[in-house]
Amino acid sequence: KQEVTQIPAALSVPEGENLVLNCSFTDSAIYNLQWFRQDPGKGLTSLLLIQSSQREQTSGRLNASLDKSSGRSTLYIAASQPGDSATYLCAVGGGSNYKLTFGKGTLLTVNP
Amino acid sequence: DAGVIQSPRHEVTEMGQEVTLRCKPISGHNSLFWYRQTMMRGLELLIYFNNNVPIDDSGMPEDRFSAKMPNASFSTLKIQPSEPRDSAVYFCASSRQGWEETQYFGPGTRLLVL
């Protein structure tokens, strides 16, 4: 059974700082990995999707990397802003489960 | 596009009552997913439809839960009878084709069973 872990559970940083969120998974036979953002009381918004054959994806200030062999992914946020404050969830697709398995998320607070 | 639409946004009911949650996926999307989110268990897939056909319902907790997709633009998740442990946020999501593609989430229905 695929298990996805996100560390830290919460992170507070000052505005302008570069930061890294971590995601690890137990079954490396994955199809893809996605990073989502969830604002309080809202649904999830997809940020980046990395196929298993890719090493990274970039969108604006966000960069996600994937290392299948070690079962790890990171989400790098450059020059953080208060508007980046949200919960970030990692979801792994495939492996023994033909579906997305989600981590419990990292709650990010960017202080002005 | 209006995105994925869910109703109601909030539901408060008493134990034993029937609850029906509704979802309208994004037009043109062939896959629809129902998820449940709780603090303890995080986000869990309940059921997944492709072209209106249930593909994976292994996440449906028990017989009290049922889901239907009578057409490409509408799905329901029903809980009968409801119990306090069903209290959670229920999300509907859709994708163009399959779980492998980007999923677009609705705003969720916050359910409280007293």
Tens-place pLDDT, residues A54-86:
999 999 999 999 999 999 999 999 999 999 999
Chain B hits for A36, Cβ within 8 Å: 105
pLDDT for A98: 67
Burial of A34 (0-12, 13-18, 19+ CB in 10 A): buried
Give CA–CA dist A56/A63, Å, rounded.
7
Q: Percent of chain A beyond pLDDT 70?
A: 96
pLDDT for A95: 60
Q: How would DSSP label each residue in B24-70? A: EPPTT--EEEEEEEETTTEEEEEEEEETTEEEE-TT--STTEEEEEE
For residue B99, what are the β-bridge partners?
none
**Between chains, do A100 and B103 touch, taking CB under 8 Å as contact?**
yes
Query: If pLDDT is split at 50, 70 and 90, which confidence band does B26 have?
Result: very high
Query: If pLDDT is split at 50, 70 and 90, which confidence band does A1 have?
Result: confident
3-state secondary structure at position A84? helix
Nearest neighbour of B99 by CB, restricted to A44, A99, A102: A99
Query: If pLDDT is split at 50, 70 and 90, which confidence band does B11 have?
Result: very high
pLDDT for A97: 60
Per-residue pLDDT at A96 exceeds 70 = no
Burial of A7 (0-12, 13-18, 19+ CB in 10 A): exposed
Establish if A6 touches chain B: CB-CB under 8 angstroms.
no
Give CA–CA dist A27/A2, Å, rounded.
6
pLDDT for B1: 65
Q: Which of A14, A11, A31 is nearest to A81 (CA)?
A: A14
Report the range of poorest mean pLDDT among A101-105, B2-6, B17-21, B57-61: B57-61
Per-residue pLDDT at A34 exceeds 60 = yes
Beta carbons within 8 Å of B63's beta carbon, 6+ residues apart: none
Q: How would you classify the pairing of strands A56-59 and A62-67?
A: antiparallel
Establish if A99 touches chain B: CB-CB under 8 angstroms.
yes
Cα diameter, chain B: 38
Report the range of poorest mean pLDDT among A83-87, B23-27, B35-39, B57-61: B57-61
Q: Which helix (H) or strand (E) holds A72?
A: strand A72-77
Query: If pLDDT is split at 50, 70 and 90, which confidence band does B79 have?
Result: very high
Chain B hits for A34, Cβ within 8 Å: 102-103
**Between chains, do B91 and A32 touch, taking CB under 8 Å as contact?**
no
Give the number of other CB atoms < 10 A from CB of residue A68: 17
A-facing residues of B in 17-76 (CB < 8 A) are 42-45, 48, 56
3-state secondary structure at position A82? helix
Give the number of other CB atoms < 10 A from CB of residue A13: 16
Query: If pLDDT is split at 50, 70 and 90, which confidence band does A104 have?
Result: very high
Distances from the Cα of B74 to the Cαs of A99, B23, B108, in angstroms? 21, 6, 15
User: How far does Cα B50 stand from its chain's mean position?
Assistant: 14
How high does pLDDT run on average in chain A?
93
Query: If pLDDT is split at 50, 70 and 90, which confidence band does B2 have?
Result: confident
